[in-house]
Amino acid sequence: MVAPVTPVAVPAPIPVRQLLPWAVFGLLLAVMAIYFVSTEQGAATLVSGQWVHEFAHDSRHLLGFPCH
């Protein structure tokens, strides 16, 4: 009797040259998100008014940043 053959999964290689632009893009988005959530409180504001503060208010509390 012949034993059944099961296919073996082989991971596909991911070229670093194709991954690097996406990693840089993700890092840029993460830095922008951290800026708006943590430091945008009006002292060095990029936009006028308090709408960014109010937009990210709950996010600050969720992440543990003081905002009051």
Instruction: Give the separation between CA 4 and CA 47, rounded to whole angstroms.
Output: 66
Instruction: Give the separation between CA 46 and CA 62, rounded to whole angstroms.
Output: 23
Structural domains in the chain (count): 1
Q: What is the pLDDT of residue 44?
A: 57
11-36 pLDDT tens trace: 988 899 999 999 999 999 998 887 77
The range of the structural domain enclosing residue 26 comes to 18-63
Q: Is residue 31 part of a domain?
A: yes
Q: Is residue 45 part of a domain?
A: yes
Instruction: Give the separation between CA 36 and CA 47, rounded to whole angstroms.
Output: 11
What is the reported pTM?
A: 0.52
Q: Give kind and range of the element (H or E) at residue 12.
A: none
